[in-house]
Amino acid sequence: MSKGKPEKNRRINVPDEAWEEYIIDADFHLNLFDPKEYLEYIEDPRLKKKIEVGGIPKGVTGGWVFPYAHHIADSLNTQGTALVAEEIDGLKKQYAIDAVIVGPGMINLPTARYPIVKNAIVKAYNDYIVDKVIDVKNGIYGLAIVPQWDPAACVEEIERMKDEKGIVGVQGWYSPQTLFGAIEYEEMHRELVKEKLPLVLHGSGFTSRFDLLGNSMKSVVEALTLSWTYNAMANVLNLIFTGTFDRHEDLKVVIQEAGTNWVPFASLRADECYYALPEDVMLSHRMFEDGNDYLKHMPSEYFFKNMYYTTQPIALPKNPDHVKSMFEMCRASETFLYSSDWPHNTFDPPNWLFNNRGIDKETRARICHGNSKEVFGI
């Protein structure tokens, strides 16, 4: 299906073939930071006042900024801002993108204080996107935030949002202090499987309070290179080794913005360590309760059966043969979802998927839309 030539913004140099491919962006941000945009969805006057005056509670961050944008205030949103369906629709057409999975930009929410206030913001955000952002006809889908600091409220929020048209998953963050294999999330996992919704986890702040290693890094580039990746890995391993996927075989988890090339390393190492210490898993809460001594499958199998990985920031080897091998090792055709991270300064337009002989057409189609359709039920 041809989308026709873009009307403007040829500067990003998206190749012509991209306009022939159906492309779903699995990590597109709505940077809804100004409280006045969503105050109308907050009823309680005490919460309304707190949010009106103080905005989103500040995360306990490591003080990282991206000072290479034109203005510090815009240091994350270097590509612009789109806050409602019409703006998003206009924007995605410039990049040969057909559909977007909109997620929130509030990445520091997990570490911020005032959980009651945060719960109100989560609800307001979710109501806002249902009202003003989601537009299924035009390929705009959304992720409802789950307040991960309050597992019972996560379940309530899934219950509240599950039937909203265009909500295709729930959004959490792989922040350093949260491991989603924890037994506290049991009901949430059960609910997600029941409602056939994936758990989508994005990187969270380089938090000083919880991520001691990240906090010790001396530049943002060090933290961006590794901090999110190892926090993502920690969550994937925790989900696997606590038997989450043995109890919830159909639970699907999408890891956003952690990169991709760590998947072979982590999956092989997980197998290797499991070979050496298989008895360890029986002592996790879930496995102990179920009387399971061992996992049903080797750890690496869950990396490919239950997990998906968004591609941004893609880091391709220069040699196309290596790209091909890397994609085979990652089982990219089953697990990768194209993502842009728009509008942040690590934005990836979809041009890398084209004109690389290491990526065949079939794999490209799976990454561009096949896997996203599958996991998000689009």
Site of interaction with other proteins (CB under 8 A) = 274-279, 293-294, 296-298
DSSP helix/strand/coil, 307: strand
CB of 297 to other proteins, least distance (A): 7
User: Which three-class secondary structure state does DSSP give residue 171?
Assistant: strand
Residue-wise over 312-349: b if at least 16 C-beta within 10 A, else e? bbbebeeeeeebbebbeebbbbbbbbbbbbbbbeebbb
DSSP assignments along 125-152, one per residue: HHHHIIIII-BGGGTEEEEEE--TTSHH
Hey, which residues does 201 pair with through a beta bridge?
Answer: 172, 255
Rank residues 78 and 292 by Cβ distance to other proteins and give the closer one. Answer: 292
Cβ distance to other proteins smaller for residue 16 or 279: 279
Measured from the CB atom, the residue of 22 and 294 that comes closer to other proteins is 294
Give 7 or 279: the residue with its C-beta nearer to other proteins: 279
The CA–CA distances, whole Å, from 349 to 12, 234, 353 equal 7, 28, 9
The DSSP result for 81-117, as a single string, is: ---SHHHHHHHHHHTT--EEEEEE--TTGGG-S-HHH
Provide the minimum distance between the beta carbon of 189 and other proteins in the complex, in angstroms, as a whole number.
23
Greatest Cα-to-Cα distance within the chain, rounded to the nearest angstrom: 61
For the record, the structure tokens of 292 come out as 């399971």
**Residue number, 68 or 275, with CB nearest to other proteins:** 275
CA distance 261 to 229: 10
Nearest-5° Cα angle at 189, 252 to 369: 20
Q: How far apart are CA 180 and CA 238, in angstroms?
A: 7
CB nearer to other proteins: pick between 101 and 237: 237
- Is the Cβ of residue 117 or residue 240 nearer to other proteins in the bound state? 240
